[in-house]
Structure 1
Amino acid sequence: MARQAITLIGGGPVGALLAQLLARRGFAVNVFEKRSDPRRVNVVKRGRTINLAIAERGLQALRAAGLADIALRRSVMMRGRMVHPRDGISGLQRYGVDDSEVIWSISRNGLNTLLLDAAEAAGATFHFGHALTDADINAQTITLSDSHYVQRKYHAGLLIGADGAGSALRAAMDLYRPLGIRVEPLGHGYKELEIPPSPGRNRFAIEPNALHIWPRGRHMCIATPNIAGSFNVTLFLPLHGSYPSFDTLRDAATASVYFHQDFPDLLPLMPRFHDDYDTHPVGKIATLYLDRWHIDGRAVLIGDAAHAIAPFHGQGMNCGFEDTVVLADLLTDGSRDSAAALEEFQRIRKPNADAIAAMTLENYVEMRDSVADPHYIAKHELGARLAERAPQHFMPRYRMVTFTLLPYAYAYERGRVQDQWLDQWLADAPDPDNLSLDAAVTALQATLSPLPPLSAQLAAYHATDAVSSFPTYKPVSHRLPDRLGVLSNPE
């Protein structure tokens, strides 16, 4: 039986991956992208080149597309956070237990090129230089303007918006039927700088297999490696207000004084600092929430078009890639029509998108401040010991988010409970070395349900299981010790 025609708006990584997954399953897929084909011209602008982080969720989607191995060959492994304190010695805080739990840094343009080639090979058709200017949701037609400003109408079939945080399709859908759009600015922005490759055999100027962080409280710098030996450096500051902010650091002259003071080891690594700072724009950071992601069976939004988040957990692309797998599975399943499939897609994915948005903002505070805080370090150490002794009952939230397929919503709730648990155990003995690990493990196993196995995680990832089937707690009859009584009655 012939499958329905699908029109995708947006040919970035999420749109290209979805196009490939759907085309491989027999859908007729047309993709309209307002930008030029990145494989034909150099469309990457300096200062807008934030690297993407591939974690387990993204890898699973790439495995479904048959592209995981080649993507990893174009990436640089990052074992953990290399923290550069204001005073003291830099140190690596591992993301996972060993090199089986790492994340991968890849250029957006490189990954996009890989996905576009694969989608075209699967049978999807791409139309570059075509910007959406209008959409008639009732008639399921769209109006596009090409690079010569010539407008044409097309019959769309099922419309899917993968056109990012500034989605034109989202705007058209909202005019037809309000989607409950809410944008929450963070009040912070970012500017991109660069550490170029070093001359000689060792191309990397600093440790290549790490995400580098210079935490400074309300502000920070991070650096992610590129396979060519350079690092993308991102400065995060408040947009407005007192020093330091982008208001008070308007040019390279004032910014260099600030870098000499707060990042003295980083500044000498950036010989083009003055040029980069003065020419690269300041990006704004916000979180996008929608009450509704679809209109009946006619149009739906995925990825950043539905739930744009801040970049502080490295999960934006991974979350969007999860969207593509779930949506492709639901549209392929013949047991429901398009309207029911899109409603189910929203039911499954929206709680998870909301959860990763919340965890991302919390991770920003952790990255810029907590990683250098003694209490955070103690909790990190105790959590690592519990994970080693009782791996079926305790896993740090970062690992759940980054190295498993556990639904984001489950990881968020489980992480909240575990964090309270660690705080309680460290309240009277701030040094983990002074705690009875045996007692902690016994209490933990009596309180929290075992983590769901991989088979259940895969079922949830592929939309055949629900978050509600993953319990966080054991039955309430399992009472906690008095010192943990706050968690004994889960509401």
Structure 2
Amino acid sequence: MSREAARNHETIVVGAGLAGSLTAVYLARRGFRVRVLERRGDPRAPGAKEEGRSINLGLSQRGIVALREVGLLERLAPLTVPMRGRVVHLPDGTLRFQPYGLAEDQILHSILRHDLNVALVDEAERLGVEFSWGQRVTAVDRTKPAVTTDDQAVHTADLVVGADGAFSAVRTHLGRGLRMDLHQEFLEWGYKELLIPVGDDGEPRTELRALHVWPGDEGLIVAHPNADGSLTATVFLPFEGEHGFAGLTEAGRVREFFARRFPDTLTLIPDVVEQFLAHPPASLVTVRTAPWHVTTDDGRGVVLIGDAAHAVYPFFGQGMNAAFEDCSVLNRCLATHPHDLPQALAAFEDSRRPHTDVLAELSKRNFVELRDKLRSPLFTVRKKVDLALHRLLPNAWVPLYTLIAHTTVPYGEALARARRQDRLLGGVTAALTGAALAGLTHRLQAKGR
């Protein structure tokens, strides 16, 4: 949608998180008059950073492209830490490094959610976006469309964007009276955050330029580096059982569990027990819904974006990146259909929803990989073979992780390509195994003669 066509479009964005703030930036750049409603307070207020609790972020190619499109990538660079691979912490205290890729740019960039959110809000305000904090949505009228907040104010707009997260109020109200599908699934594991502080000498306690992973079937820890030399660790455990959150409520049991399962954390996090017991666990949810948008006869509409449309488990590191890619794709659809908002919203959903459904399955599958397979020598060998083939055939053979994290190939196409490669590798492996067995049989027969 051109700036001229957008000039008279009033837009309400519900949610000032990452997806909502970036959507507001894109729309303001396109000429929309944008107001953002957020139930929480301003993240820039004193103490707001300490009040938040969220899994740290790994910025990958899809998010990088979106931030570059709105001119924010270079400005955010000082707030990020490059992660060139995984450092796997094994129970015996040894460390194993697994690179993400071969090329110099095949890395992730760790950034604190709060810092990224503040930068996006600042940029949106610079572009003229109005933010209203402490505004909870209590109703959505899709026939106008309009949004009602808890102060009984009614906000009418040409476009309403629901960017209010996995438990979206916009999605809930939008679905009333519609044949709307909704699949919501909670993982049997939850999470808590811990801080790995800098050492007494002011230096990082462990390798900073990597994602740190402590795998295990009883628990999983993932730690992202921060620009100040600390790391933010997320502890994933089952909710139930003696080794789950329900059973780890006393200091002695917590210390014994970490000493047995994650022994080096006792050194890396001197107050690990106190931190662990300080907060309740949070839940992990995946959401799929359809439709994502509704339009009126006079060309107005409501659309869902980010977690409101497709929340996923965090184990592929794509939740934020997929949401940012939503913003980029929606912007392109508005540009392609400059005078037809309903067509733009339909094109957006058609181009995104099949692929985010695939991402939901990939994210669930990668939970098993992080938890169980990283310790396996066979898994490590397979990853090395994948990278070796990628080095030999950089365009013909690309590992699934590389396709997801380091390209913008749509998720469904990435999975289809990886499956073709898996079948080929399986066939080659079977052929090599058969040849080796045939050779062994021939040698044994020769000896027998």
- Is the contact made by 1:47 and 1:191 (CA closer than 8 Å) also made in structure 2? no
Question: Any gaps of 5 or more consecutive residues in structure 1?
Answer: 435-491
Give the CA RMSD over aligned residues.
Answer: 1.9
Q: Say if 1:198 and 1:132 are closer, same or farther in 2 by CA, change over 3 A.
A: same
Determine the structure 1 residue equivalent to 2:121: 116
Letter in 2 for 1:384: L
The offset of 1:46, in angstroms, is 5.8
- Is the contact made by 1:47 and 1:281 (CA closer than 8 Å) also made in structure 2? no
The offset of 1:253, in angstroms, is 2.9
Determine the structure 1 residue equivalent to 2:171: 170
Letter in 1 for 2:216: R
Structure 1 stretch 358-367 or stretch 329-338: which is displaced more? 329-338
Determine the structure 2 residue equivalent to 1:440: none
Figure out how many residues of one structure are paired with residues of the other and give that number: 426
| Equivalent-residue separation in structure 1 for 2:276 and 2:363 (angstroms) | 26
* Equivalence map 1:114-263=2 (5 Å): 114-145=119-150, 150-202=151-203, 204-240=204-240, 242-263=241-262
Task: Kindly indicate whether residue 70 of structure 2 is the aligned counterpart of residue 65 of structure 1.
Answer: yes
| Equivalent-residue separation in structure 1 for 2:261 and 2:423 (angstroms) | 33
SS in 2 for 1:300: strand
- Residues 140-172 of structure 1 show CA distances to partners (whole Å, capped at 9, x for unaligned) of 222112xxxx33122132110011111111111
- Residues 297-341 of structure 1 show CA distances to partners (whole Å, capped at 9, x for unaligned) of 421100000000011111100000000011122223345522221
| Equivalent-residue separation in structure 2 for 1:351 and 1:263 (angstroms) | 38
| Equivalent-residue separation in structure 2 for 1:255 and 1:224 (angstroms) | 22
Task: Kindly indicate whether residue 407 of structure 2 is the aligned counterpart of residue 404 of structure 1.
Answer: yes
Task: Kindly indicate whether residue 282 of structure 2 is the aligned counterpart of residue 292 of structure 1.
Answer: no
Equivalent position to 1:89, from 85, 88, 94: 94
SS in 2 for 1:111: helix
- Residues 268-310 of structure 1 show CA distances to partners (whole Å, capped at 9, x for unaligned) of 2212222211121211112101121111242110000000001
The offset of 1:427, in angstroms, is 4.5
Q: Say if 1:320 and 1:428 are closer, same or farther in 2 by CA, change over 3 A.
A: same
- Residues 431-487 of structure 1 show CA distances to partners (whole Å, capped at 9, x for unaligned) of xxx9xxxxxxxxxxxxxxxxxxxxxxxxxxxxxxxxxxxxxxxxxxxxxxxxxxxxx
* Equivalence map 1:299-310=2 (5 Å): 299-310=302-313
| Equivalent-residue separation in structure 2 for 1:24 and 1:169 (angstroms) | 24
| Equivalent-residue separation in structure 1 for 2:294 and 2:184 (angstroms) | 20
Task: Kindly indicate whether residue 81 of structure 2 is the aligned counterpart of residue 76 of structure 1.
Answer: yes
The offset of 1:254, in angstroms, is 1.6
The offset of 1:402, in angstroms, is 0.6
Determine the structure 2 residue equivalent to 1:101: 106
| Equivalent-residue separation in structure 2 for 1:419 and 1:375 (angstroms) | 15
* Equivalence map 1:346-361=2 (5 Å): 346-361=349-364
| Equivalent-residue separation in structure 2 for 1:167 and 1:251 (angstroms) | 35
Task: Kindly indicate whether residue 25 of structure 2 is the aligned counterpart of residue 24 of structure 1.
Answer: no
The offset of 1:383, in angstroms, is 1.0
- Residues 228-253 of structure 1 show CA distances to partners (whole Å, capped at 9, x for unaligned) of 1211111111222x442222223433
- Is the contact made by 2:12 and 2:155 (CA closer than 8 Å) also made in structure 1? no
* Equivalence map 1:389-400=2 (5 Å): 389-400=392-403
Question: Any gaps of 5 or more consecutive residues in structure 2?
Answer: 437-449
The offset of 1:218, in angstroms, is 4.7
| Equivalent-residue separation in structure 2 for 1:308 and 1:152 (angstroms) | 29
* Equivalence map 1:260-275=2 (5 Å): 260-275=259-274
- Residues 357-404 of structure 1 show CA distances to partners (whole Å, capped at 9, x for unaligned) of 111111111111111112211211111111111111101110111111
Q: Say if 1:298 and 1:252 are closer, same or farther in 2 by CA, change over 3 A.
A: farther
Determine the structure 2 residue equivalent to 1:487: none
| Equivalent-residue separation in structure 2 for 1:275 and 1:218 (angstroms) | 20
The offset of 1:176, in angstroms, is 3.8
The offset of 1:44, in angstroms, is 3.1
Q: TM-score, normalised by structure 1?
A: 0.83
Task: Kindly indicate whether residue 11 of structure 2 is the aligned counterpart of residue 10 of structure 1.
Answer: no
Task: Kindly indicate whether residue 431 of structure 2 is the aligned counterpart of residue 419 of structure 1.
Answer: no
- Is the contact made by 1:181 and 1:289 (CA closer than 8 Å) also made in structure 2? yes
Higher relative contact order (CA 8 A, sep 6+): 2
| Equivalent-residue separation in structure 2 for 1:47 and 1:5 (angstroms) | 31
Equivalent position to 1:312, from 289, 312, 315: 315
| Equivalent-residue separation in structure 2 for 1:161 and 1:62 (angstroms) | 20
| Equivalent-residue separation in structure 2 for 1:424 and 1:186 (angstroms) | 35
Equivalent position to 1:43, from 31, 43, 48: 48
Q: TM-score, normalised by structure 2?
A: 0.91
- Residues 6-28 of structure 1 show CA distances to partners (whole Å, capped at 9, x for unaligned) of 11001111111111111011111
- Is the contact made by 2:9 and 2:157 (CA closer than 8 Å) also made in structure 1? no
Q: Say if 1:411 and 1:223 are closer, same or farther in 2 by CA, change over 3 A.
A: same
| Equivalent-residue separation in structure 2 for 1:258 and 1:427 (angstroms) | 42
Q: Say if 1:376 and 1:422 are closer, same or farther in 2 by CA, change over 3 A.
A: farther
- Is the contact made by 2:146 and 2:160 (CA closer than 8 Å) also made in structure 1? no
Letter in 2 for 1:120: E
Determine the structure 1 residue equivalent to 2:341: 338
Letter in 2 for 1:351: P
The offset of 1:101, in angstroms, is 1.0
The offset of 1:225, in angstroms, is 0.8
| Equivalent-residue separation in structure 2 for 1:261 and 1:82 (angstroms) | 19
SS in 1 for 2:314: coil
SS in 2 for 1:290: strand
The offset of 1:88, in angstroms, is 6.0
| Equivalent-residue separation in structure 2 for 1:200 and 1:220 (angstroms) | 28
| Equivalent-residue separation in structure 2 for 1:22 and 1:305 (angstroms) | 18
SS in 1 for 2:284: strand
Q: Say if 1:428 and 1:265 are closer, same or farther in 2 by CA, change over 3 A.
A: farther
